[in-house]
Structure 1
Amino acid sequence: MKLGRDEFQAWLDEVSPGTGSVRLAAVADLPRLRVKQQLARGNVAPATIAAISRGLDLDPLTQLARFEAFSDLVPSSPAVGEMPGFISSPGLFRASAERLENQPVTETQLGPESYDLAALYWFNLANDGALRARIADELGVNQPTLWKMLRTRLREDVALAVCEHAGWPGVSALVISEVLTGKEAGWVEECRATWANSVPVGQLLSCTEQRLQQVGKQERDRESFDRHLG
């Protein structure tokens, strides 16, 4: 998902007038070529806006919300139904073990909020069987492209469509797309641990079981591929 050059330039003229691409790259700690290419093509990535905002000591979410595509976004912690998607597989397994031992779960035990295949697990929590077709119809994203996004990085407009479909906070789309951190999105401190400690144990185990099945399938597929190569 890209933001238009005119909209970006109007924003930049207000927050940092007269700043050229070289200075922007330095402020945002981004490669010069990437910034120059985005400006030349008139397609600026939301992550670039967020990076520039950080470099200027501005709140990234507040600045992104000034763009039409993100104007409805407000700070929010994840919805209950999407919370497991922001917890790594080992973290989810540890949380279940701790709860079964009647021990409190800490935030650090849950692992990073961004991890490999987070987008896939998050998407699966929202998928009621109709989500893939909706994304294809509304955004023109075919199955192979979506498959790749879910295993690398989910495009912001696709993530926003997922949030709309599931009734989740729109700002979660920017966290799962790695544009914002949870803190920048307005997450309540240690909200993941609060969820892990308060959700009924049976529900936590159900979430963990689903994740374990997904991880198990991925590992079996990988091992089968490795054996085939061997």
Structure 2
Amino acid sequence: MAVTAKSFQLWRSRIAPDDTVADLCRKAGIKRSTLGQQLVRGKVAIGTVVSSARAYGLNPAHELGNFDGYRDLPTGIREPTDAELISQVSHIDVLKLIVARSQDEEAAGRDVRFELAPFPHRNSVRAWIDAVDRGELRQGLAARAGIAPQNLSAQLTAGRLTPELAVEAARVAGVSLASGLVVTSLLTSAEGGWPADGRNRALGMLSDAELVLLARDRLDVLGKSLKKLELASSRDQDLWENLG
């Protein structure tokens, strides 16, 4: 959900009363033509608000609370659940931990000592949705957002989620309202209230059996994704051969 140009201009005048639009664009690293087009259309992208807030040393998550659709965001921020934290660990790191434990280099019940790969990872958005889904999240989210379930599914398959859907998903799931914005890369983990060592702690607390089952689930998702790519590539190859 974009914010209205009027509300953006009012907000901009409060955080930088002496700066022009050109000044803001220069400080925020936004093309002046891009912001100009958004203002003319009457809708300013959420990413523009985030970049502008950062440029003036403000927390974007808190500043989004000045706009309709995100009013409850600042008060709805809390630490992510362990399931959310683990969802943002790549399958490679899960497998690395299994190997490390088999060699007695890591122990269950202790923080993971090796450096985890940055997130979001390849399947971050879908993994997060799966982590917070209590059974009817996808259907409930599609209904509340007024979109077709297949459109939501297409976004998840592509590893995307619009800011409004990310926040609404968190509302439906009853988790921190900033979590969806973190896993979609709109906010940094620090801006969204995610602890720096949270993933290491949550992953380390898994038992060996839980870790193996997690790896199984991750590899199952990866396998299905790769199979789809192979089928699509095969269809493309057949098409070219028929055309040739």
TM-score, normalised with respect to structure 2 = 0.83
Moved more, 3-12 or 59-68: 59-68
Corresponding letter in the other structure for 1:21: V
Give the alignment partner of residue 125 of structure 2, picking from 119, 123, 133.
119
- The Cα of 1:129 is off from its aligned counterpart by 4.3
Residue in structure 2 matched with residue 57 of structure 1 by the alignment: 57
1:106-157: per-residue Cα shift (whole Å, max 9, x none)? 462x211213331122122233442222122111121342133221421122
| Counterpart Cα distance in 1 of 2:114 and 2:155 | 27
The corresponding residue for 1:103 is 105
Is the contact made by 2:124 and 2:159 (CA closer than 8 Å) also made in structure 1?
no
Offset at residue 192 of structure 1 (A): 0.5
The residue that corresponds to 1:48 in the other structure is 48
2:190 corresponds to 1:188: no
Residue 233 (structure 2) aligns with: 226
Task: Quickly say closer, same or farther: Cα 1:92–1:141, change in 2 above 3 A.
Answer: farther
Task: Tell me the equivalent position of 2:27.
Answer: 27
8 Å Cα contact 1:82-1:168 kept in structure 2: no
Name stretches of at least 5 consecutive residues in structure 1 with no aligned partner: none
Deviation of 1:172 (Å) = 0.3
**Preserved contact between residue 137 and residue 173 of structure 2 (Cα < 8 Å):** no
The answer to whether the Cα contact below 8 Å between 1:107 and 1:192 also exists between their aligned partners in 2 is: no
1:159 to partner: Cα distance = 1.4
Q: Residue 157 in 1 paired to residue 159 in 2?
A: no
Alignment size in residue pairs: 229
TM norm structure 1: 0.88
Q: Which residue of 1 aligns with 2:87?
A: 85
Tell me how large the CA RMSD over aligned residues is: 2.2
* Corresponding letter in the other structure for 2:83: G
Q: Contact 1:28–1:52 at 8 Å: present in 2 too?
A: yes
Provide the rounded CA distance (Å) in 2 between the counterparts of 1:116 and 1:22. Answer: 36
| Amino acid in the other structure paired with 1:123 | I
Q: Find the residue that maps to 2:190 and give its secondary structure.
A: helix
SS of the residue corresponding to residue 103 of structure 1 reads coil
SS at match of 1:70: coil
Q: Using the alignment, how far apart are the partners of 2:13 and 2:193 within structure 1?
A: 27
Q: Cα gap change, 1:214/1:30 in structure 2, threshold over 3 Å: closer, same or farther?
A: same
Verify the 8 A CA contact 1:84 1:207 in the aligned structure 2: no
- Give deviations 1:43-87, integer Å, cap 9, x for gaps: 222221111111112222222233343333344332122222222
Deviation at 1:14, TM superposition (A): 0.7
Contiguous gaps of at least 5 residues in structure 2: 107-111, 238-244
Distance 1:125 1:53 in 2: 30
Structure 1 residue 194: Cα displacement? 0.9
- Using the aligned pairs only, state the percent identity: 25
Letter in 2 for 1:42: G
- Is the CA contact (8 Å cut-off) linking 1:107 and 1:190 kept in structure 2? no
Contact 1:99 1:197 in 2 (8 A): no
Question: Which of 201, 207, 212 is the aligned partner of 1:205?
Answer: 212
Mean CA deviation greater in 62-71 or 177-186: 62-71
**Letter matched to residue 186 of structure 1:** G
